[in-house]
Amino acid sequence: MPSRSKVWFITGTSRGFGRIWATAALKRGDTVAATARNTSTLTDLAETYGGSLLPIELDVTDKPAVDAAVGRARDHFGRLDVVINNAGYGVFGMIGEVSEQHAHARRSHSRRNRETSPHSRRPPPSGLGAATSPVGTHGAHASPATS
């Protein structure tokens, strides 16, 4: 039975793991809605893969923009099969050393993992997969070294 190509929604595709996942999906013949704060970083992929790539400018800390990006990708491709929430950053430090602003931004980013939920509740026949970093979802805490 021939396999059906997948439709991917990947955040943070300008570099790093997001870029690697997007490139791998495109190379295997899948389609990708690739988000980045600056879509000019995706020009080379757009030139190589044409209509298989939908570049979307996105700041994942902006909830209305996230909703719009997910809706745009689903409307454009008709479905989402794989969702990878890769965009973000780490906050490292002792609890008392992390500013309230950084702590709030971190919590806001974690909520973005739920933004595709309305779309994933209507999975396509091929099913829906999602991935995120455990550190990005749950955070990492470090203690000072003791002697």
**pLDDT one-digit tens code per residue, 3-61:** 689 999 999 999 999 999 999 999 999 999 999 999 999 999 999 999 999 999 999 88
Distance of CA 91 to the CA centre of its chain: 18
**pLDDT at 47 (0 to 100):** 97
Q: What are the phi and psi torsion angles at 41 (to 5°)?
A: -70, -10
Q: What is the CA radius of gyration of the chain?
A: 17
Query: Which of these ranges, 36-40, 75-79, 87-91, 124-128, has the smallest mean pLDDT?
Result: 124-128
Q: What dihedral angle (degrees, nearest 10) is formed by the CA atoms of 107, 68, 125, 13?
A: -70
Q: What are the phi and psi torsion angles at 133 (to 5°)?
A: -75, 135
**pLDDT at 107 (0 to 100):** 53
Mean pLDDT of all residues in 67-78: 95
Domains in the chain, CATH or no CATH each: 7-132 (3.40.50.720)
As given in the structure block, the two tokens for residue 147 are 């002697």
pLDDT in tens, 115-145: 554 454 455 445 555 555 544 444 433 334 4
- Cα→Cα distances 142→41, 95, 100, 106, 146, Å: 33, 9, 18, 16, 12
- Percentages helix, strand, coil for the chain (3-state, rounded to 5) are 45, 15, 40
pTM above 0.85, yes or no: no
